[in-house]
Amino acid sequence: MPDLTPLLAFRWSPRAFDPAAMLTGDEATSLLEAARWAPSAGNTQPWRFAFGHREDDTWKRILVSLPADDQRWARHASALVVVAHTGGDPERAAYDLGQAVAHLSVQATALGLHVHQLTRFDRAGLATELDLPVGIRPTVVVAVGRLGDPFALPEDLRDRETGLRQRRPLADLLLA
């Protein structure tokens, strides 16, 4: 790892979250503010959010939309956040949502929190459960929390938790 700012260098996507930790209202707001101030093409700001704190109604509705496999660990997250887009060009909106969630994640790291994004979930079911307006399309679920004990994870998840992060070498990514 080269000299990256610690807010990027220490970011990773855990499954071991502390089941006792809750987010304060200020923490939740600052995560959403980070996303809100992300750049977007033509300042369209195509992002919308549903924020659930553990055990509240929104959180429960988001949790049950996840695959059973992921519910095993996501149920310990302090917050589950749906990030949805408002339509328009889907590729352009997806790009801007990626930026907004990246900003949210950087802010989470600054608060000592960790983020794990989930792209596999029941989009139609969640839209119904949350009574989302027509045209609002859930794109990603973001689990946020404090790091927990990896040995409290089911064994198959524990092994993935302790593996090193891997990326393609930079040379393979350069076009010119």
For residues 18 and 117, which CB has a smaller minimum distance to its own copies in the complex?
117
For 132, phi then psi, to 5°, come to -70, 140
Selected range binding its own copies among 68-76, 127-135, 144-152, 154-162, rule: CB under 8 A:
127-135
Shortest Cβ distance from residue 6 to its own copies (Å)? 9
Indicate whether 155 belongs to the interface with its own copies (CB under 8 A). Answer: no
CA 36/CA 47 separation, integer angstroms:
8
In terms of DSSP H, where are the helices of 114-168?
A: 123-129, 155-161
By CB under 8 A, the residues from 20 to 59 that bind its own copies are: 26, 29-30, 32-34, 36-39, 41, 43, 45, 47-52, 58
Indicate whether 147 belongs to the interface with its own copies (CB under 8 A). Answer: no
Q: Give the DSSP letter of residue 81.
A: E
Output the six-digit token pair for 78: 């302090």
Shortest Cβ distance from residue 4 to its own copies (Å)? 6
Selected range binding its own copies among 16-24, 71-79, 149-157, 160-168, rule: CB under 8 A:
160-168
CA 132/CA 12 separation, integer angstroms:
30
Using CA atoms of 147, 150, 151, 156 in order, give the dihedral in degrees to the nearest 10.
150
Taking Cα atoms as reference points, which of 125, 32, 28 lies closest to residue 77? Answer: 28
Indicate whether 88 belongs to the interface with its own copies (CB under 8 A). Answer: no
Other C-beta atoms closer than 10 Å to the C-beta of 9 total 12
Tracing tokens 């590729």 back to the chain, one arrives at: 91
Figure out which of the listed residues 21, 74, 82, 144 binds its own copies, where binding follows CB under 8 A: 82
Residues within the interface to its own copies (CB under 8 A): 1-5, 7-9, 11, 13, 26, 29-30, 32-34, 36-39, 41, 43, 45, 47-52, 58, 61, 82, 84, 90-92, 94-103, 105-107, 110, 117, 119, 130-133, 136, 139-140, 165-168, 170, 173-176
